[in-house]
Structure 1
């Protein structure tokens, strides 16, 4: 049987993107590289520092913001100018703080420090965490006082008191609470307050913002839209030329966050930020694979811009395409430092947005470690703003990860502080998947010829657990005539060549769940958690049960006509600082490894397929003829599944492979050509 023809195709591609965050979008100034701030930085511990008194602050200090005190729009780049500085210092910095009621001097003392900040020695600086900060020396003229002003002259007219100024730029979005810029000295380790700007308020704290889509079922006749507003009254989504749906409204409070006596959480304390109200409405009466315009909001709070989304194909239809990645997070669109920065996130978003603009992507799957807010709630707003070009156009389907769910005394399988006390509440509020029920975030959905099973690696998965029983039942019920491809999705991987501390692979998890994959003949498994890309052979219990063969184009092709085991692909390169592979990898099951930011794109199709086999009759004239070919009509066809991993810096395909097998619902036959 030939493997090179077109036809029912399941394609998987890993792509790479723009390497710097300055490419999405292109705000000033241009030098916005965040690699040096990736992951945890000293800024994360600034709120645990004792606040010392600044000695002899300049009486000429001022902070001016480009808004001029006018109400702020929903998104802006603000220039903050600090003037009147007598002695510029490399440790001078400006923080953006919200809300302005935050006290910078009178926080109550706490007997227990917050372990997850990494600071075990100092008490809080601020009752509310600074959203972001920049050192004044980012202005290249600051330390050399290139921008000077004379504040006082002597009797001869010569300047006797000269002060210096500098300007930095902050990206601000509407997170509903007022904003203040505060000038500090002493760096992040010994900070003291020099000057405050005064409150800046948003023009419309109730604005409907950050609308994002998700599929509700496999029929592709309805679509959920979720958005955020500062107003708790029901709003509407208007769509499809006169239709509308009214929102259900929810929120969560500080009391919904997790904590424990031994591990107090930022989500309950200095990381808390009021989330406003989360609105969700379901648009019904839609048609598969059709496009619709929509807007959301109300006359009282205003309306969003009009946007367009496209429905995915219904279960059992001929074709579907999707993008998948994990571990994205977000990075600032300015040169600020923040609590957590994922340096590749912006470039991945930009590249996936280009994919969506082609009209060839039906959905996006983000499989765990979503925003990395980890208890600093305002960062969810920044993440939702970042993914808007994707999630407002196609369904944005998610799986829960350790940084959404895990915390002490929260019921998670893994007792770590990774969620910062959010314990899944924020994630499930913002991303309403077609899950079983609250805090049971596992689900399945079908698009085209693919049945997706999405599990939670953070909830109990042992053989007697509710989730295990659900997975077994769901996989048992797959109709292979309708959806011949089965893709299994979770966050923590079963196989990884990266050596992590703690270890990346939980052998108990593998022992419990891997047999289900083999039993139900899962074709392909996607995981994240490890921040790179890796592909295996068809594997079970660390043994290669089948390896791909190269087709005429050199693409690895797995022949699943005789199923052996699932193929695993780790796609955790969506934004978080990359995990490198060891120089020597001894795992024979590891067939492809890429440590570069990117994502996988997958294409599965059922179409007419003609496989041509050219055979030379003689060597003299190399005359060729078409031999009887394996021919497939729309009702009798071969299935192919194709995947590529794409670099986000170059859009180059760094790995690609495909599957092929007969359609179980149809019989292939030979037909003369």
Structure 2
């Protein structure tokens, strides 16, 4: 097979030790076990992303706690100081824990240094499901897989601040002589355009683990600007090293029209997607099969989805690539929490600040991003770190970026910001003016970001770009119930409305696109939680519409307000994305499910031809005494000033590993749930398998969606409820009916759990663990959120006529 980066005149340099370190440097004190070998079915990686079979034989003392892990021979790293890029437990290979032999398949990317596979024996547990990677546990090592360190990888496109320009970005190990070649005919290019090179080192990271076990050399991050591009034109291009003759396979993109009201464009948008390996959803798994930890995390990953990787992102990328072929967009919008190069809730096996996961992300999206420029903004998992300029410190310390504090994001996705401090910008695309903001930095009235947004809105030429679309990471309207701390979803939404809602209304902004809360939702044309409807003459909305598109790939936000407020017209918990068709008078958006491809929501915003914003009319409306006619749902009655940590509200909260929880309500709820079912799950492998293979996707009140395998998980929950035959007993044979029933059965538990938290926050004298029920005559009966799970079955009266009020009561 000829590698795609090998072209005529290529100088071939296969790195298998030159600038890499040795096995003994990676694994200090390593001594091979006689007769025990690890091997791979290839010796040279011919293309990034190739599948490799790893085999081993001759292990004299295998255990159930043995694992195969992938590392690279990068300089200045050791097994004791760097987490593995991926690993699998050997008992996935049938009989390996007893025979001492077996094989597993991995997907291997070119990460600039030779890849090796290490066999770890009887890995020590340092907590519930945590793994201690130690050089003393390495018993065998594969020969290194040779790579070309300067194969151009991770290619992607962005727009610059100048019309007719595109930035081409990619990665190699060495700086070399990076160039971009492009032209309007395939294979026929003009003079090479020199590129610049950036990057980052361990010492400029803001903290651990980005500066410690998440870091190895990220390589040279090149970026070259191709300018003078004509509108509505297809360009072919390649990128690589002019001296070595190493170039990426040719790609192409189509430029958008110039900013003009007569133009028409298509774009795609999503947020919170993350990354995953195509080889196996479980390339990173915490504990060996059959252990309590494995049982717990298998069930938990179905509830929360995998923390280390986001398997739903694989389907997302497939759908987006299909859209490029058929829908022909000229722009992609990705509004934060880009790669989730982060540490899960479990152990040091997968750190935040993981260089390796950034590599995987860009390789996964490369086929898309080399055809479609992507414009992004930072999310909390790219940006937040104490004392680095985020808006929460010092009132609250947020460590969501794992010490990255935005540096890898800025170096890897170069947006047309004024500088690295001010992570906001605007750009035009056909008839649309986009404003991309940073909800992770100060945005309140008078702040530099607020001043930029206001000045930008005032300066938009609506005769050229009649549409204004604003990007946030955190949403300005949300059904999230996280509302205690300064960085909570409800508090940030309140702050965003305080800063921007009136301004967007005055200057007739059309749409906001946000992520962070993992669902799809659409508001009505809304101002101060009041729906203002549409103009009777033109059909145009009388206020901005707000979309949440955080359903890209990460776990769904199950603990949102299922009693959806009236100002939401759509509210759907299913992975997906949006596509938009825009011309001078119409902005048509379709929300699609990435699993099934079906349409989840479809709407059009209209605008009169020759539109001109009427600031005076909007101001007159605002100052006429407008008060929204809106009655909040009970679960919206949140305190907005009490920034209490979760541990103070729940000092006795159960955590599976005995540590300080600091967990979200859904995680605590699951831990309580699991406490009652662990024994059943551990002994019932069929039940555990049904959970592991299930896809839990359910719509909110506006829509309840069922995808393949949905019935499996609800069949599993039926068993968990210790009523294995209750469906049949009640005449329910349709899995869809069963799914909806179980979902409704759990809704009141979600709601009661949150009501208890709210009541405790509103009245400090109440014990949040035991709340008096004021509706009883004796006022002695209690509602205990930590007993609700165990009592659920007794509260189910008749599945077919289940009333959610059966398990809910009012609270103080």
Name the SS for the 2:357 alignment partner.
helix
- Alpha-carbon distance between aligned partners in 2 of 1:562 and 1:358, rounded to the nearest angstrom: 29
From 72, 76, 83, the counterpart of 1:129: 83
- Alpha-carbon distance between aligned partners in 2 of 1:253 and 1:133, rounded to the nearest angstrom: 25
Q: CA deviation at 1:413?
A: 1.1
Contact 1:597/1:648 (<8 A) preserved: yes
Contact 1:368/1:400 (<8 A) preserved: yes
Aligned residues: 530
Structure 1's unaligned 5+ residue stretches are 1-50, 105-124, 146-163, 260-264, 549-557, 607-638, 667-673
From 432, 445, 450, the counterpart of 1:450: 432
For residue 251 of structure 2, what is the aligned residue in structure 1?
A: 307
From 196, 208, 211, the counterpart of 2:152: 208
Contact 1:234/1:249 (<8 A) preserved: no
Report whether the alignment pairs 1:358 with 2:323: no
Q: Which has the higher helix share?
A: 2
Q: CA deviation at 1:547?
A: 6.2
- Alpha-carbon distance between aligned partners in 2 of 1:246 and 1:426, rounded to the nearest angstrom: 23
Contact 2:275/2:360 (<8 A) preserved: yes
Q: CA deviation at 1:143?
A: 4.1
From 249, 257, 267, the counterpart of 2:205: 257
Name the SS for the 1:643 alignment partner.
strand
For residue 47 of structure 1, what is the aligned residue in structure 2?
A: none
Structure 2's unaligned 5+ residue stretches are 1-26, 127-131, 286-306, 342-351, 613-812
TM-score (norm 1): 0.74
Report whether the alignment pairs 1:96 with 2:70: yes
Q: CA deviation at 1:592?
A: 0.7
- Give the 5 Å matches for 1:174-213: 174-187=110-123, 189=125, 193-198=137-142, 200-213=144-157
For residue 482 of structure 2, what is the aligned residue in structure 1?
A: 500
For residue 266 of structure 1, what is the aligned residue in structure 2?
A: 209
Q: CA deviation at 1:497?
A: 1.2
Q: CA deviation at 1:86?
A: 3.6
- Alpha-carbon distance between aligned partners in 2 of 1:495 and 1:235, rounded to the nearest angstrom: 44
Q: Deviations over 1:205-252 (max 9, x none)?
A: 022222111112463x22111111112133111100332311011121
For residue 367 of structure 1, what is the aligned residue in structure 2?
A: 335
Q: Deviations over 1:134-160 (max 9, x none)?
A: 011112342464xxxxxxxxxxxxxxx
- Alpha-carbon distance between aligned partners in 1 of 2:235 and 2:124, rounded to the nearest angstrom: 49
Contact 2:112/2:147 (<8 A) preserved: no
Q: Cα distance 1:659–1:103, how it changes in 2: closer, same or farther (>3 A)?
A: closer
From 385, 391, 410, the counterpart of 2:388: 410
- Give the 5 Å matches for 1:599-610: 599-606=577-584
Q: Cα distance 1:368–1:545, how it changes in 2: closer, same or farther (>3 A)?
A: same
For residue 222 of structure 1, what is the aligned residue in structure 2?
A: 165
- Alpha-carbon distance between aligned partners in 2 of 1:513 and 1:311, rounded to the nearest angstrom: 32
- Alpha-carbon distance between aligned partners in 2 of 1:584 and 1:396, rounded to the nearest angstrom: 33
From 363, 375, 379, the counterpart of 1:401: 379
Report whether the alignment pairs 1:384 with 2:362: yes
- Alpha-carbon distance between aligned partners in 1 of 2:101 and 2:567, rounded to the nearest angstrom: 59
Q: CA deviation at 1:328?
A: 1.1
- Give the 5 Å matches for 1:639-658: 639-658=585-604
Contact 1:98/1:128 (<8 A) preserved: no
- Alpha-carbon distance between aligned partners in 2 of 1:99 and 1:542, rounded to the nearest angstrom: 56
Name the SS for the 1:294 alignment partner.
strand
For residue 659 of structure 1, what is the aligned residue in structure 2?
A: 605
- Alpha-carbon distance between aligned partners in 1 of 2:275 and 2:124, rounded to the nearest angstrom: 22
For residue 155 of structure 1, what is the aligned residue in structure 2?
A: none
Q: CA deviation at 1:399?
A: 1.0
Report whether the alignment pairs 1:74 with 2:45: no
For residue 444 of structure 2, what is the aligned residue in structure 1?
A: 462
- Alpha-carbon distance between aligned partners in 2 of 1:292 and 1:188, rounded to the nearest angstrom: 54
Q: CA deviation at 1:404?
A: 0.7
Contact 1:602/1:642 (<8 A) preserved: yes
Q: Cα distance 1:188–1:482, how it changes in 2: closer, same or farther (>3 A)?
A: farther
Which structure has more relative contact order (CA 8 Å, sep 6+)? It is 1
From 282, 290, 306, the counterpart of 2:225: 282
- Alpha-carbon distance between aligned partners in 2 of 1:435 and 1:471, rounded to the nearest angstrom: 13
TM-score (norm 2): 0.62
Q: CA deviation at 1:168?
A: 0.6
Contact 1:100/1:179 (<8 A) preserved: no
Report whether the alignment pairs 1:246 with 2:191: no
Q: Which has the higher strand share?
A: 1
Report whether the alignment pairs 1:295 with 2:238: yes
Q: Cα distance 1:235–1:101, how it changes in 2: closer, same or farther (>3 A)?
A: closer
Q: Cα distance 1:515–1:309, how it changes in 2: closer, same or farther (>3 A)?
A: same
Q: Cα distance 1:378–1:103, how it changes in 2: closer, same or farther (>3 A)?
A: closer
For residue 332 of structure 1, what is the aligned residue in structure 2?
A: 277
Q: Deviations over 1:170-227 (max 9, x none)?
A: 11111112322111133462656142325525431022222111112463x2211111
Contact 2:335/2:379 (<8 A) preserved: yes
Contact 2:534/2:540 (<8 A) preserved: no
For residue 428 of structure 1, what is the aligned residue in structure 2?
A: 410
- Alpha-carbon distance between aligned partners in 1 of 2:457 and 2:55, rounded to the nearest angstrom: 60
Q: Deviations over 1:447-493 (max 9, x none)?
A: 12111111111111011211110000001111111111111111001
From 35, 38, 44, the counterpart of 1:60: 35
Contact 1:327/1:576 (<8 A) preserved: yes
- Alpha-carbon distance between aligned partners in 2 of 1:657 and 1:563, rounded to the nearest angstrom: 12
Name the SS for the 2:237 alignment partner.
strand
For residue 102 of structure 2, what is the aligned residue in structure 1?
A: 166
- Alpha-carbon distance between aligned partners in 2 of 1:85 and 1:570, rounded to the nearest angstrom: 52
- Alpha-carbon distance between aligned partners in 2 of 1:194 and 1:378, rounded to the nearest angstrom: 21
Q: Cα distance 1:560–1:478, how it changes in 2: closer, same or farther (>3 A)?
A: farther
